[in-house]
Amino acid sequence: MTTQQYYNHIVEGSATLLSDDTWQGAGSVVQAGAVLVQSGTLGLFRTRERAQAQGLAWAKSWIDTHSDSPAASPAPSGSDHSGTPEPKATPSTRTAPDCAARQLLDIERHICEVRGNLRRQIRFARQLRADGLPTEFTEMLLHTLCQTVTSLRKQRNRLRQQLATASRSRPRSR
């Protein structure tokens, strides 16, 4: 399992080895020691690292879509939470447009990751159908991934509008 500090939460990405040398990915969000949400199976992956990364990406995306306002800056990507508390974020001199631009980049990255996972799952579902195996759970996963992409796109559009509004209002305030 890989854990990271993200805003006021701990995000976890886990991987379970299946019998056919593939990894099943999952994610969860923890706050104040309590599990807020768990993803369930996010898909099948060739490597443990990729399965864990997908779990982390899912958890971060869940926080982004379910939090009203970020209370702290996210930890840099790729830094594992080693059990020691991360330093609290200090008030930043960044403006709201800078934060929105950073969030927009994160959302774009999440969209790319989820779309890549969606493509892999579509290939996997086609192979299951070709082999005559049941695909109902795979289809449920595909539906969930499509909803995730739609949600991320809506959030991206809101951030783009905020950035456009901020860039239009900036010259007037001077």
pLDDT at site 128? 86
Please tell me the pTM assigned to this model. Answer: 0.42
pLDDT at site 13? 93
User: 8 to each of 30, 59, 91, 127, 147, how far by Cα in Å?
Assistant: 9, 13, 15, 40, 25
122: containing domain: 2-73+92-173
Confirm if 52 and 13 have CB atoms less than 8 A apart.
yes
pLDDT at site 18? 84
Angle at 13 between CA 109 and CA 29, to 5 degrees: 90
Whole-angstrom distance, CA of residue 41 vs CA of residue 14: 10
Most distant CA pair in the chain, distance: 67
| Residue 84 falls inside a structural domain | no
Confirm if 114 and 57 have CB atoms less than 8 A apart.
yes
| Residue 85 falls inside a structural domain | no
Whole-angstrom distance, CA of residue 107 vs CA of residue 127: 30
| Residue 9 falls inside a structural domain | yes
Residue type, 162: Q
| Residue 107 falls inside a structural domain | yes
Token code pair at residue 133:
């195996």
Task: List phi, psi (to 5°) of 42.
Answer: -100, -10
Confirm if 159 and 103 have CB atoms less than 8 A apart.
yes
| Residue 78 falls inside a structural domain | no
| Residue 98 falls inside a structural domain | yes
pLDDT at site 28? 92
Number of folded domains in the chain?
A: 1
Q: What is the residue-level pLDDT of the chain in tens, covering all 174 positions? A: 888 888 888 999 999 988 777 889 999 999 888 888 998 888 888 888 888 999 999 999 888 887 764 444 444 444 444 343 333 333 434 455 567 777 777 788 788 788 888 888 888 888 888 888 888 888 888 888 888 888 888 888 888 888 888 777 765 544
| Residue 52 falls inside a structural domain | yes
| Residue 80 falls inside a structural domain | no
Whole-angstrom distance, CA of residue 72 vs CA of residue 7: 5
